Structure 1
Amino acid sequence: MTVNSPPGLAQLLGDLAIDLQHESGTEATLQAITEGAVTLVPGAWGCGISMVQGRKVTPEAPTNPVVAELDQLQSSLDEGPCLSALREQRTVQLEDMATEIRWPRFARAALDRGVRSMLSFQLFVIDDTLGALNLFGDHSEAFNEESLLVGGVLAQHASIAMIGAAAEAHFGAALASRDIIGQAKGLLMHRENLTGLQAFALMVKTSQNANIKLVEIARWVVEQHESRLNRT
């Protein structure tokens, strides 16, 4: 499928690249990932990243106040899918808060705030700190297999961003299943003078603003590059 170039898309890419060069790399990337997840992951109404030390949960880059509040509630209640993703499993899916029995107090609190389902991905361990990428749905059974795939890719990028620049050399491994995104990332790094993390954040933000899927944005970048080569 060829992406039709929407009006101003090239300018949008350039403007966002300039903005990213002036932002704090890790913080800006995490915010782009959580905001992008709401657009890119089927069923996602809200998203946040939880940093956990011991029994304390600290919300990072929440997309709205309800997300931050629910992350903090998991800390005070000492229960919830985020904590289970960190302590027991890599990925935890909660299909319906109304029938959930694993975390009854958290489920009731989530229902009171209009959240019906949830998906949590364990992030890499950093010293004594753990992390989780949390996706929230406003209806039951909001997340499907595509949600798991796209959310997993975003979780990998969040992990790398949290580890910092030392892990950036391994950035491409997170995109092994998305070769076209990896190609586009490399082209943007070279063309716009961005780091790998900034290039990914650029594509996520462009996907949001242009209302085009991330993989189609990547395909458009590659096609534009190949078209220029063919004209020379």
Structure 2
Amino acid sequence: MSKQLPLDELSSVIARVKGLLLTEEKVDRAVQLLAAAAKQAIPGTLGAGISLLDTQGRRTSSAATDKIVERADTAQYELGQGPCLTAWASEATILVEDVQTETRWPEWCAAMKDLPIRSVLSTPLTAGKESLGALKIYAAQPGIYDGETSRLLQLFAGPAATLLANVQSSETPRRISNSLETALYSRDTVARATGILMERHGLSSDDAMQELLSRVRTDRTTLLEECSRIIAAIPGRRG
């Protein structure tokens, strides 16, 4: 039975996800938000999950809205088969009408016998020419998902993949930026401290640095701590 979600409602969900992701800095948090939104967006869904995979199909990040989804996904990773991995590898939406009668992944389907999962729908997360992974939803009843549901999930996955790609690509420069900021702060602090010692004691730059290192050894502190202490001790000045 087709369970249509009005396009204006779907657009609202996607817009909300965009707003959330634009404030996120970490992929793991982003996929959690997307999985929760997918579960909410598709009627009849028991749980949803997202898997981000590398070029060899190895998981790099994942999210699951429920323990059942987590177990179903973990079985796919361990067995190396299942609708999620197939959707990613084939870059096509995979529909499972009933896990109990499905024959494409016998080992994975056998592992699902103890879980209340009957219907599965998985679609690739593709940004440009790159397949990032897959988005999948699970239902407790057979025949819950159909062609219409597949199209709805694809509509959801398109902007989701683009947003995830942006979050992924922004993490590396952000880490570099944070490291650079720390390095620049440290360098500035050391420069200020050596300048204070040069002015106070009439030392050269090299001698001021040697004085700093001597204090670090004597006081058993770090260079940055010693520099901060010198700067803070200047009357009328704050760190």
TM-score (norm: length of structure 1): 0.56
Q: Deviations over 1:33-74 (max 9, x none)?
A: 211222211332111111223242355221012212221211
Matched residue type, 1:39: Q
Aligned pair 1:80/2:88, yes or no? no
Long gaps (5+) in structure 2: 1-5, 9-18, 171-239
- Which runs of structure 2 are paired with 1:18-29 in the superposition (5 Å)? 23-24=24-25, 26-29=27-30
Higher relative contact order (CA 8 A, sep 6+): 1
Contact 2:91–2:131 (8 Å) recurs in 1 = no
Q: Which amino acid aligns with 1:64?
A: D
SS at match of 1:99: coil
The yes-or-no answer on 1:42 pairing with 2:43 is yes
Which residue in the other structure is 1:180 paired with?
Answer: none
Partner-residue secondary structure (3-state), 1:60: strand
Please give the alpha-carbon distance, in whole angstroms, between the structure 2 residues aligned to 1:110 and 1:132.
19
Q: Quick one: distance in 1 between partners of 2:126 and 2:141?
A: 29
- CA, structure 1 residues 40+58, in 2 after alignment: closer, same or farther (shift >3 Å)? same
- Aligned equivalent of 2:196: none
Number of residue pairs the alignment of both structures matches: 155
Structure number with bigger Rg: 2
Equivalence for 1:148: 150
Of the structure 1 ranges 51-60 and 103-112, higher mean CA displacement relative to structure 2 is found in 51-60
What does residue 33 of structure 1 align with? 34
**CA pair 125-34 structure 1, distance change in 2 beyond 3 A:** same
Give unmatched runs, 5+ long, in structure 1.
Answer: 4-16, 169-232
Alpha-carbon deviations, 1:93-125, whole Å to 9, x = none?
A: 011011011111111222311111111101126
Q: C-alpha distance in 1, partners of 2:60/2:162?
A: 18
Q: Distance in 1 between matches of 2:138 and 2:76?
A: 14
Give the percent of matched residue pairs that are identical in Structure 1 and Structure 2: 29
Q: CA RMSD in A?
A: 3.5
Residue aligned with 2:152, SS: helix
Q: TM-score, normalising length from structure 2?
A: 0.55
- Is 2:75 the partner of 1:66? no
Secondary structure, aligned partner of 1:164:
helix
